[in-house]
Amino acid sequence: MAGIDAMPPLALTLGEPAGIGPDITLAAFSERRALSLPVFHVTGDAAFLARRAALLGIAVDIVECQPEEAGRVFASALPVCPLGRHVAGEPGRPSVDDAAAVTGSIETAVEHVRTGRASAVVTNPIAKSALYKAGFEFPGHTEYLAALAERFAPGPHRAVMMLAGPDLRTVPVTIHIPLAEVPKRLTTELIVATGRIVARDLARRFGIAAPRIAVCGLNPHAGEDGAIGREDIEVVPPAVAALRAEGIDAFGPLPADTLFHAAARARFDAALGMYHDQALIPIKTLAFDEGVNVTLGLPFVRTSPDHGTAFEIAGTGRARPDSLVAALRLAAVLAGNEAARS
């Protein structure tokens, strides 16, 4: 922990102001000592966070400062690096007027990491619909972060979504597309490219010297030798063979319905699911409140709570900070591991 303690603070984004991001930020900070949280600063609006704290009945001091001052401030107050933008953020009522603050918070957090003023980015949930109305041009959070990554090094940077919990890590190869589109989009090349990034970041950031990667079959029973689809003969096995030829300990295709019980999980460090729910249902079943969204493939560490904005409970005090706490802790560990390798 000494190495982590000596690192720059984590940069936590504001997220959607009308959602639960501010609530869980304040709740986590108020319990920072009991939870042994790493130092972080928020890129946001101190006045807005003070209003939300008052609404929630959370007694917390909030101080505007620069990232270099966060370590000193954190002991007694929540450090907030100001964006120079007013944030309205009425609970449950997302406003297009706050869109610039939402994207500005993300951009500022990334810039803090790029300039060495922060060690990693932790993002609170955003509401893409509100951003689209303001002209946001990216499909989502991850794509925006990949574009910002070009400031570190020329792109393109391929971002890969990992869901990580205490006992399981999963990666969907295809993500937010209709299920009917998955067989059309799933290619050997896509599986190989995803597996490479997963293996690299498991070694570089998770500290796993020889990562073991289980690869799910696309079809029930991994296709049953072609009786239930040809993808698990023609698409997935060549990808596994290519990864193994590169020295990556990948194996499969494996039936997804028998891959996630305790004994099976002991055989691998991460599992590649061929589509969104194949990867996300197991992790959310095992670690719904502790799951962390980790973006692999970027030149900086990024984690996020594994949940959305939850407008229906924003401002009520019912939002639990567990996933954010896990995201903060994991970001500090991953950034520390990467720093130790450089």
- Domain-located, residue 291: no
Task: With a cut of 50, say whether residue 211 has pLDDT above it.
Answer: yes
Task: With a cut of 50, say whether residue 1 has pLDDT above it.
Answer: no
Query: Which of residues 243, 262, 286 is at a domain's end?
Result: 286
- Domain-located, residue 191: yes
> By percentage, how much of the chain surpasses pLDDT 90?
89
Task: With a cut of 50, say whether residue 81 has pLDDT above it.
Answer: yes
- Domain-located, residue 295: no
Please tell me the distance from the alpha carbon of residue 269 to that of residue 285, in angstroms, as a whole number: 18
pLDDT (0 to 100) of residue 101:
96
Does one domain contain both 138 and 223?
no
pLDDT (0 to 100) of residue 176:
86
pLDDT tens digit string along 230-258?
Answer: 999 999 999 999 999 999 999 999 999 99
Start-end of H helices in 151-187: 182-185
- Domain-located, residue 292: no
Mean pLDDT over all residues of the chain?
95
Task: With a cut of 50, say whether residue 2 has pLDDT above it.
Answer: no
Does one domain contain both 317 and 206?
no
pLDDT (0 to 100) of residue 192:
98
- How many C-alpha atoms does 68 have within 13 Å on its Cβ side? 2
Does one domain contain both 173 and 226?
yes
Task: With a cut of 50, say whether residue 93 has pLDDT above it.
Answer: yes
Does one domain contain both 90 and 141?
yes
pLDDT tens digit string along 303-323?
Answer: 999 999 999 999 999 999 999
pLDDT (0 to 100) of residue 173:
97
pLDDT (0 to 100) of residue 210:
96
pLDDT (0 to 100) of residue 5:
59
Task: With a cut of 90, say whether residue 42 has pLDDT above it.
Answer: yes
**Residue 79 DSSP label:** E
Please tell me the distance from the alpha carbon of residue 275 to that of residue 330, in angstroms, as a whole number: 25
C-alpha triplet 334, 337, 341: angle, nearest 5°: 140
pTM > 0.85: yes or no: yes
Task: With a cut of 90, say whether residue 267 has pLDDT above it.
Answer: yes
Does one domain contain both 220 and 151?
no
Task: With a cut of 90, say whether residue 342 has pLDDT above it.
Answer: no
pLDDT (0 to 100) of residue 178:
95
Q: Give the residue numbers spanning the domain of 193.
A: 167-286
- Domain-located, residue 293: no
Does one domain contain both 79 and 102?
yes
pLDDT (0 to 100) of residue 308:
93
Does one domain contain both 268 and 130?
no
Domain count of the chain?
A: 2
* CATH code, 276: 3.40.718.10
Please, which residues have CB within 8 angstroms of residue 109's CB and are 6 or more apart in sequence? 11, 12, 13, 43, 118, 121, 123
Judge if the upstream peptide bond of residue 305 is cis by omega within 30 degrees of 0: no
Task: With a cut of 80, say whether residue 3 has pLDDT above it.
Answer: no
What mean pLDDT comes out for the span 199-211?
A: 96
Task: With a cut of 80, say whether residue 4 has pLDDT above it.
Answer: no
- Domain-located, residue 294: no
Does one domain contain both 106 and 217?
no
What mean pLDDT comes out for the span 130-147?
A: 91
**Residue 259 DSSP label:** S
What mean pLDDT comes out for the span 283-292?
A: 92
Start-end of H helices in 37-158: 46-56, 70-74, 99-114, 128-133, 141-148
Per-residue tokens: 164: 């990580």
pLDDT tens digit string along 154-173?
Answer: 878 899 999 999 999 999 99
Per-residue tokens: 29: 């900070």
Which contacts of 179-186 are long-range, i.e. CB under 8 A and separated by 24 or more positions? Answer: 179/275, 182/218, 182/274, 182/275, 183/218, 183/229, 183/231, 186/218, 186/231, 186/235, 186/274, 186/275
